Amino acid sequence: MIKAIVCVDKNWGIGRDNDLLFCLPTDMKFFRQTTLQKTVVMGGNTLRSFPGGNPLKNRENIVLSRTQVRDDCKIVPTLDGLLEELKARKNEEVFVIGGEQVYKMLLPYCEVILVTKVEADGGATAFFPNLDSHPDFSLECSGKPQEDNGLSFRFTTYKNNRVKRF
Ligand SMILES: NC(=O)c1ccc[n+]([C@@H]2O[C@H](COP(=O)([O-])OP(=O)(O)OC[C@H]3O[C@@H](n4cnc5c(N)ncnc54)[C@H](OP(=O)(O)O)[C@@H]3O)[C@@H](O)[C@H]2O)c1
């Protein structure tokens, strides 16, 4: 099953200057616990945004990139190649972890979207599609508001009611 995991601001913004909008340790912990030992799929810019530009530890990292060459993760140079990798793992739990371009490309294939919603405007230049106004998605659950670093946020889950099959 393919899932996406994302942290958005109140405008569904996800990033700026190839970085995240907020520092939310509780959300980072949730992200880590959810994706550990799983396959994570990302675009080349998201890989560049990680500390040292390195893949995430204790996860299989698959990166969509036309330009990067490295042997510490799986680089896939085309969307078709990436879809083949996902097809080969259709019985596993795979997480799409960003960024804007890769979320947009893979959203139709994602069954579940884990969205951390932050009650703030992060001044984003990169965005996630607005699932509240998307006809294919429904809000399945919404957690209680929590506070972290002076920001109010909640964990929510959306379901794709029209999953695209390979
Ligand atoms: N809030 C969150 O939860 C969250 C999560 C992840 C990322 N982000 C943010 O999202 C932003 C980055 O998003 P983004 O849209 O710029 O980048 P991205 O989706 O991570 O990566 C884009 C890159 O993917 C590769 N690519 C895209 N289409 C391709 C194709 N058809 N074939 C081959 N390669 C292709 C290219 O890589 P190359 O340039 O390497 O060739 C392209 O530059 C950052 O601000 C980041 O912090 C936020």
Cα 65 to middle of ligand 1, angstroms: 9
CA 67 to ligand 1: nearest atom: 41
Q: Decide if 165 is inside a domain.
A: no
Which two tokens mark 163? 């999953």
State mean pLDDT over 79-93: 96
pLDDT tens digit sequence for 19-64: 999 999 999 999 999 999 999 999 999 999 999 999 999 999 999 9
Give the closest residue to 60 by CA, choosing from 38, 88, 75.
38
Which two tokens mark 28? 């980072």
Pocket test for ligand 1, best of 5, 21, 45, 102 (most atoms within 8 A of CB): 45
Q: Decide if 147 is inside a domain.
A: yes
CA 116 to ligand 1: nearest atom: 3
Task: Please tell me the pTM assigned to this model.
Answer: 0.98
Helix (H), strand (E), coil (C) string for 36-96: CCCEEEEEHHHHHHCHHHCCCCCCEEEEECCCCCCCCCEEECCHHHHHHHHHHCCCCCEEE
CATH code of the domain in which 44 resides: 3.40.430.10
CA 100 to ligand 1: nearest atom: 15
pLDDT at 166: 84
Q: Quick count: other Cβ atoms within 10 Å of Cβ 19?
A: 8
What percentage of the chain exceeds 90 in pLDDT? 99
State mean pLDDT over 2-22: 98
Q: Decide if 29 is inside a domain.
A: yes
Query: What rounded mean pLDDT belongs to the chain?
Result: 97
Pocket test for ligand 1, best of 28, 46, 96 (most atoms within 8 A of CB): 46
For residue 98, give its domain range: 2-160
Q: Decide if 81 is inside a domain.
A: yes
Report how many domains make up the chain: 1
| Distance separating alpha carbons of residues 10 and 111, to the nearest angstrom | 23
pLDDT tens digit sequence for 152-166: 999 999 999 999 998
